[in-house]
Amino acid sequence: MASLNSPDSSPPNISFSIRETRKTTTTPTATATSSTEAAAGRRFYRSSSTKEPSFSQFPFTPPHLNNCPSLPQSFHNSPATSPLHPASTTAAAPTKLSDLLISHRCVSSVLKKDGQILSIAIFNDILYTGSDSNLVRIWKLPDFTECGQLKTKASMAVALQVSHDKVYAAYSDCKVRVWQRNSDRGLKHLRLATIPATGNYVRSYISGKDKMTKHMGPITSLAINISDDVLYSSSLDKSVKIWRVSDFKCVETIQAHSEPINAIIAADDGLLYTASDDATVRVWRRNFSRSDRPTHSLVVTLPTKFSPVKTLSLATDSGLLYGGCSDGYLHFWLKGWFSGQLKYGGSLQGHTHAVMCLATVGKYVVSGSADTTCRVWARDEVDCQMHTCLAVLVGHRGPVRCVAAFSGSVSEEVVEEEADDGCTICSGSLDGVLKVWRVTCTKNRTRNRSLQNGTEYSDVM
């Protein structure tokens, strides 16, 4: 039986029943008046009820929210607490976002006969998408036109990563393919290597030096540390492997978790973040000493309230680490000012199913979920623990498997002086559709004029 503070249990809902009116003797002239008062009393008690259906009563496809900013403000403000923390610590909504008009729209929607879209990677003005076919499609931004394909004999490109001149794609055969990108004479890709190479794997196995060169389970995520010239790969076999990019050899294997690993992130400061089904996020630091101890050592283990962590994202400008869990919560951690250690900051509530993918750009956080929607959150510039849901992107008919986001627009638009740069979002779903969304924030001129005149008018719902 789930406890009251368990994330799996629905929060208690307070309900008020309609009180029965006592029978009184009335004169014929007061009958109409008394019946009117009784009806008004019933309406009063009915409107006082705060009972709401729990998430378990929702259908798989959530209700379509065509205009998210028109919803009550209490719906958008996500408390900086977790399901295990009391709601009394909820902070007020940032006032800066109340002066903005939020708008979002679907810019483009593309359906290819590739099956499910499993991975997305973006670098500058080039977008890569992987599916359960043997093709990795290449898209040119900002016009969003297909400009090439990467073909292999293997299928299901489950993870993609792009560096300055290389493209890495992990497939269901537990191997990673590498391409060299050349933009001098058009956009061309040259196949470089397969990690691990078949010959190297066989020789290592026969010599007994390293029988674990190849992942024993499907690869789930890739990460690149360009400064250290290493590639990280995580797998369902509960391990993380470190590959040297110069010769594509495995230099280390980390038995990181007790359960399958779903996502990894390599930070510029040398830290490695791993997320697993064991409901923890672990932080690893690379050691540069020449001693016999392992190259990577465990720094800290971050629990996520007994819910498996499916995806990770790191906001480099603020140092916040986000983790999407299978219970629909989006937890985040922030670094302390003096210690530099990660501490729990809170959770973002809104998704009704598992959070499967995350992306961050500037102050925006984009989460894709199995409830077929994407949510766009804005982090307050003063209090980084405060987040506000700006938009709910509805349009996919299947779980959203991967997202990518970048600042600016995909088309040449007239940018007003009072308009924010916003962000552009690319989402891939298991329904096989790739969608491009545009989210903008514009200052509310009407409200600004009323504030300058000393009055403020609120809309009547």
**Domains in the chain and their CATH numbers?**
78-111+304-408+417-461 (2.130.10.10)
Q: What is the pLDDT of residue 99?
A: 65
Tracing tokens 């007790």 back to the chain, one arrives at: 258
pLDDT in tens, 68-126: 333 333 333 333 333 333 333 333 344 455 567 888 999 999 999 899 999 999 988 89
Is a pLDDT exceeding 50 seen at residue 373?
yes
Q: What is the mean pLDDT of residues 206-234?
A: 81
Of residues 131 and 416, more confidence is placed in 131
Rounded to two decimals, the pTM is 0.73
Quick one: three-class SS letters along the chain? CCCCCCCCCCCCCCCCCCCCCCCCCCCHHHHHHHHHHHHHHHHHHHHCCCCCCCHHHCCCCCCCCCCHHHCCHHHHEECEECCCCCHHHCCCCCCHHHHEEEEEEEEEEEECCCCCEEEEEEECCEEEEEECCCEEEEEECCCCEEEEEEECCCCCEEEEEECCCEEEEEECCCCEEEEEEECCCCCEEEEEEEECCHHHHHHHHHHCCCCCCCCCCCEEEEEEECCCCEEEEEECCCEEEEEECCCCEEEEEEECCCCCEEEEEECCCCEEEEEECCCEEEEEEECCCCCCCCCEEEEEEEECCCCCEEEEEEECCCCEEEEEECCCCEEEEEECCCCCCEEEEEEECCCCCCEEEEEEECCEEEEEECCCEEEEEEECCCCCCCEEEEEEEECCCCCEEEEEEEECCCCCCCCCCCECCCEEEEEEECCCEEEEEEEEEEECHHHHHHHHCCCCCCCCC
* 259 C-beta neighbours (distance < 10 Å), count: 13
Of residues 387 and 22, more confidence is placed in 387
Buried residues in 216-229 as b, exposed as e (16+ CB within 10 A): eebbbbbbbbeeee
Q: How far apart are CA 2 and CA 265, in angstroms?
A: 32
> pLDDT-derived band of residue 257, with 50, 70 and 90 as boundaries?
very high
To the nearest whole number, what is the mean pLDDT of the chain? 76
Q: What is the mean pLDDT of residues 399-420?
A: 69
pLDDT in tens, 85-96: 333 333 334 445
Q: What is the pLDDT of residue 27?
A: 41
Q: What is the pLDDT of residue 324?
A: 97
